[in-house]
Structure 1
Amino acid sequence: YYDRAGALRDMVQNHLTQLLALTAMEVPATFTADAVRNEKVKVLQSIEPPRPEDVVFGQYERGSIEGEEVPGYREEPGVEPSSSTETFVALRLHIANWRWQGVPFYLCTGKRLPQSVSQIIITFRRPPVAFFRTWCGAAPPSNVLVITLQPDEGFDLFFEAKRPGQPLQLEPGNLRFRYREAFPERLPEAYETLLMDIMEGDQTLFVRADEVEASWRLYSSLLRNPPPLHFYPAGTWGPPAAEALLQQGLLSPVGNSVARG
């Protein structure tokens, strides 16, 4: 299946684009299926298809993960030796609406990376005037909210805090929350919730036909004319071209993107 699909179809078009829609949508009037999905559709229909310079496709080569040698993708069983299937995608999207005009959204997913992690990372705008300076005289970095979906659900809020005493000095701080620490009893698996929703007839977490159409619209040109492949060793965070793209948004590819799978 994967060699015929690739990372764009397998992860970006559905999973990561849904995370983007949930992150960027307006608050629905009610927590009902139609209200939630209406807001997601509005976002998806406002996203501009990515330009060629906003997309990086990659494919992993032979490398090592946690000290174990792993084959390259073209050496995997059942994969053609000349396969051009992408195992890594990094791209930048823009939403043409009032709230998000000028704000870039980065999506990134890949196979054979150093670790499996799914996160939504939101970097807040810096204020126009910095009242406080760090110890080296520079303006404080942006606050960052990291929502971790797996493997350890929770969130971290990173910010600058004033060090007690004099002189006035700011240092990095963070607030941390983990579901398994707050609720030590067994947490339901993701599919348990979906199966229960099916039995109860609740469609809130399921996509609607117009959502699917709006999502495919974004990537149809990439499927027809895919960009060139950039190769990366297994066990790394992707090709250098992807790191350069993400760094334009002040993001590191090491577990950092607005939506990562």
Structure 2
Amino acid sequence: MPHTQQEPFVYASYPDLAGKRVVITGGGTGIGSELVTAFAGQGARVWFLDIAAEASRALAESLAGAIHPPRFVHCDLTDLGALAAAFAGIESEAGGVDILLNNAANDDRHEIDDVTPEYWENRMAVNLRHQFFCAQSAVRMMRKNGKGGVILNFGSISWHLASSQLSLYMTAKAAIEGLSRGMARDLGGDDIRVNSVIPGAVRTPRQQALWHTPEEEARILAGQCLRERVEMQDVAALSLFLASNNARRCSGREYFVDAGWYGA
């Protein structure tokens, strides 16, 4: 049985993150909303991109008391023109980007026989393509500023476990790890670090509502080394570390926060 955690979660403090210009994709809900909360709590200047306007505005309002209140930028990341315009707006306002967290994704289930070419293209646009083009925009600014930077691309435990009804999602998430390694090699000379964050079965409102039934939760816990659910704060805590100078020699690797999930 899982243990009951008695103490509230408290993030470590990373003074070097204060004032850093941070862009987070998919920041309005789920893991992304916790990333926004955690980085704002470090005193970073946060811009978050999302298509979910109502939830994003509510999040921004809830964090209005932060040292630098996070800024919501409405953006459909599958629209590359809108994506480029969003980054241009951030550059105009902030002068550049120091840290990019490519978090946005959608894990809708599907059957192989139902996949059309149009659905394939949509899933790649939703889960993979924008990570490259967001990074491309951020890298241009990082190089211009000449102070290096950090890119965190978010993958998934799903393809490491060979999950069902997620073939296209797993294809995209597997590719992200290759993308991160390639970028880390290409950008290391510019002092830009690139890593993949690999969350496990994170307890988010969406997952709880759609997939994580009591039976599924029991299966997840049985497959993990640690018999505690992974929370959004666990993913954010790892991300804070990897974005900070404490991880200054970490690049081109995959960092798992999955409670040691090897399947069940």
TM-score per shorter chain, which class? under 0.3
Give the TM-score normalised by structure 2: 0.24
Larger Rg: 1
Normalized per residue, which structure has more strand? 1
TM-score by length of 1: 0.24
When you count helix as a share of all residues, which structure comes out higher? 2
Higher relative contact order (CA 8 A, sep 6+): 1
